Amino acid sequence: MDEVRAAADIVKVVGDYVKLRKAGANYMGLCPFHQEKTPSFAVHPAKQIFHCFGCGVGGDVFKFVMMMDNLTFPEALRRLAEKVGVTLSDTFGDATYDANARVRAGLYKMHEAAAKFFASQLSGTAEGRLARAYLEDRGLTDEVVGRFRLGYAPADGQALTRHLAGAGYESELLEKSGLVGHDAERNRHYDRFRRRIVFPIANESGKIVAFAGRALGDEQPKYLNSPETPIYTKSRLLYHLDRAAHAIRKADQVVLVEGYMDCIAVAASGIENVVASCGTSLTESHIRILARYARRVVVNYDPDAAGMAAVERAVPGLLDGLSGFDAREGGQAKTEGLSEARAARRAGGGQTLEHFLENAFEVRVLPLPGGLDPDSFIRIHGVAAYRGLLARAPTYVDYLTERAVATHDVGTPEGRVAAANAVLPYLVKVPDPMLRNELARRLAERLRLDERLLREELRRAAGAARSEMHIQPESAASKATTAEKELLRAFMENQGLADELLPQIVEQGMLEGLVTEPIFKRFLELRRREERAEATALEESLSAEARRALYESLFWPVEPPDSGRIDRHLRALRAGRARRQLDQLRGAMQEAIQSNDWAKARELEQAKSNLENELRGLDEGRKISHH
């Protein structure tokens, strides 16, 4: 573990997920764990830790990978070991893996074996060669087929089941994989994918976790996707992101398409910064994943599919809050005859654009002419024509406005209001008020509406939307004092100093009742066990506020305190303890007086006098130390 930690540069690891910029000794970026517009997420290269000053989360490189990829510690360790080229023992994990981690490890291996099986069926069987001919007709070369690891699931309903069982996979794991079903009546297992071209779906690290199968012929559904499993959650994965991540960062833009074939066609034409959702409508989780790589997106959904309809509609519940505009126009979208994925997009797709806007994306929409999807357009008109349209893709407000103009009679006042109704809900979602006003001006100009009235309506709608917003994590600092933070940082960097001073700090109750008390107690506990007090060991069992104080201390932007400043901080802790004790004594004295317990009151008065003398002595010492 120590070898992996030493080899894994946290700046490089975090940089694979978050766009980081140098800021003094640290690196800063937008936090991947909560929504924010101003970077508050910091990475400390020297200490190899991260911390968000907004939501308070922090930790080392292992914790970051565990949180980002929803992994156990052994899984995160293995993933980092692979990334940095450290070989772990073959027996690693036998004692440390929990049952769920062992299942996931088995499923990863099984999906890799299944991908190789499907690929061999595509190229090595007569049935598969017919499927390969179909792909060739769609313009997919051998190089593209190999790059995307396309395969074929044979019509025999048990071919994959027999192959995996022969490789030693047990029935229970087969059923958990989503690749194999169980016929209880006949008591036999069967393949989920049959007579389908198969598209392997990989997670961000490139491991295959699911498949999509396209039917040959008229079999329904046209596309069949893996169900969710312990290694696959549809809302947390985007097709082709494992290959596209570098290109997205380089271009600072992502092209979002609807289907697997569309994504392959665009990527194969040399436009690598393209992804697709996997058999589900685009979710807020998808948006947050994309936000790690770029803040510019071009939405290029199939024009006659529900995905493109999503950019024309707002969610009814949001529209209901707009006074002055009838939000009911357009009604409920129909889903008859659509595949499961496209029905989901049509039913809930109106949120796609809103999620982008709320996360401060720069959004463009690319409607291809002739009702063509990206795959068909590139095959008919060529990649140069597609690149040209991509470069000229209109902003979302221009796209929505032109669609509204085309579908309403803007020659009448009622038509102009109806057209505004189609666009206004999206303007409400724009977080920047200056940009929102500029977009409103353009909308009013295009629709020949009174700009003042439109702005007023937008202000009312924006106010209503803000009242419904969820409270974001607080960005306020913890209640820890400068003395607490500087001492904690000094002890972390000089644990010999901690051994000298910690016992008196803890045992004399200098921190009693303070947010950092459990941190210093845990520090002392580790040192008495002759263990090094690392941040990850200290944060065990801490409250959220205490964890925040811990990482604030480690990122404290001043030089570690010298001996003089340490003495002043110790006096400050003693003075704080005395003041807290005085407050308690005053309350106890009041109770004693009210109950006529004069003996108790005199005893408390003497204690109070002693504390006041102690405070005066500490204050005088503080003044002398400053001269």
Q: Percent of the chain at pLDDT above 90?
A: 35
Q: How far apart are CA 443 and CA 425, in angstroms?
A: 12
Highest mean pLDDT among 36-45, 371-380, 426-435, 506-515: 371-380
Q: What is the pLDDT of residue 19?
A: 85
What tokens does 66 get?
Answer: 């565990």
Residue 299 sits at the vertex; the CA angle it makes with 296 and 301, to the nearest 5 degrees, is 165
Rounded to 10 deg, the angle between the 73-84 and 61-69 helix axes is: 110
In DSSP terms, which residues pair with 26 in a beta bridge? 23
The amino acid sitting at 446 is R
What tokens does 530 get?
Answer: 């002759």
Cα dihedral 234, 240, 244, 245 in deg (nearest 10): 30
Q: What is the pLDDT of residue 326?
A: 33
Q: How far apart are CA 77 and CA 67, in angstroms?
A: 13
Average pLDDT over residues 572-581: 82
Residue 493 sits at the vertex; the CA angle it makes with 492 and 498, to the nearest 5 degrees, is 55
Q: What is the mean pLDDT of the chain?
A: 82
Residue count (the chain):
627
Q: What is the pLDDT of residue 175?
A: 93
Among candidate residues 241, 428, 234, the one with its CA nearest the CA of residue 324? 428
Q: What is the pLDDT of residue 33?
A: 87
Q: Identify the band that residue 70 occupies on the pLDDT scale cut at 50, 70 and 90.
A: confident
DSSP, collapsed to helix, strand or coil, labels residue 627 as coil
Average pLDDT over residues 509-529: 89
Query: Which pairing describes strands 296-300 and 223-225: parallel, antiparallel, or unpaired?
Result: unpaired
Asked if the model's pLDDT at residue 65 lies above 50, the reply is yes
Q: What is the pLDDT of residue 343?
A: 37
What tokens does 254 get?
Answer: 């992502």
Asked if the model's pLDDT at residue 68 lies above 90, the reply is no
Q: What is the pLDDT of residue 388?
A: 97
Sheet with 196-202: strands ordered across: 151-153, 196-202, 208-215, 223-225
> First CA to last CA across the chain, in angstroms?
49
The amino acid sitting at 483 is A
| pLDDT tens, residue by residue, 215-244 | 987 888 999 999 999 999 888 899 999 999
Asked if the model's pLDDT at residue 17 lies above 90, the reply is no
Average pLDDT over residues 43-47: 89
Sign, Cα dihedral of 153, 245, 232, 105: positive
More confident residue, 334 or 104: 104
Among candidate residues 57, 58, 91, the one with its CA nearest the CA of residue 74? 91
Poorest-pLDDT segment among 16-25, 145-154, 596-605: 596-605
Residue in the block written with tokens 């960097």: 493
| pLDDT tens, residue by residue, 137-153 | 999 999 999 999 999 99
**Cβ distance 300 to 282 under 8 Å?**
no
DSSP, collapsed to helix, strand or coil, labels residue 431 as coil
Average pLDDT over residues 333-338: 30
Asked if the model's pLDDT at residue 92 lies above 80, the reply is no
Q: What is the pLDDT of residue 98?
A: 63
pTM comes to: 0.68
Among candidate residues 96, 14, 23, the one with its CA nearest the CA of residue 62? 14
Asked if the model's pLDDT at residue 267 lies above 60, the reply is yes
What tokens does 9 get?
Answer: 């540069």
What tokens does 267 get?
Answer: 């990527």
Distances (CA, A) of 335 to 244, 340, 341, 349: 31, 9, 10, 12
Helices vs strands, H then E, count in the chain? 29, 16
What does the radius of gyration of the chain's CA atoms come to, in whole angstroms? 31
Q: Identify the band that residue 473 occupies on the pLDDT scale cut at 50, 70 and 90.
A: very low
Poorest-pLDDT segment among 38-42, 296-300, 383-387, 610-614: 610-614
Q: Under 8 Å CB-to-CB from 217, ≥6 apart: which residues? A: 195
Longest CA pairwise span in the chain (Å): 103
**Cβ distance 149 to 119 under 8 Å?**
yes
Q: Identify the band that residue 328 occupies on the pLDDT scale cut at 50, 70 and 90.
A: very low
Asked if the model's pLDDT at residue 330 lies above 70, the reply is no
Among left, alpha and beta (phi > 0; psi -120 to 50; other), residue 286 is: alpha
Q: What is the pLDDT of residue 128?
A: 95
Q: Identify the band that residue 355 occupies on the pLDDT scale cut at 50, 70 and 90.
A: low
Q: What is the pLDDT of residue 469?
A: 37
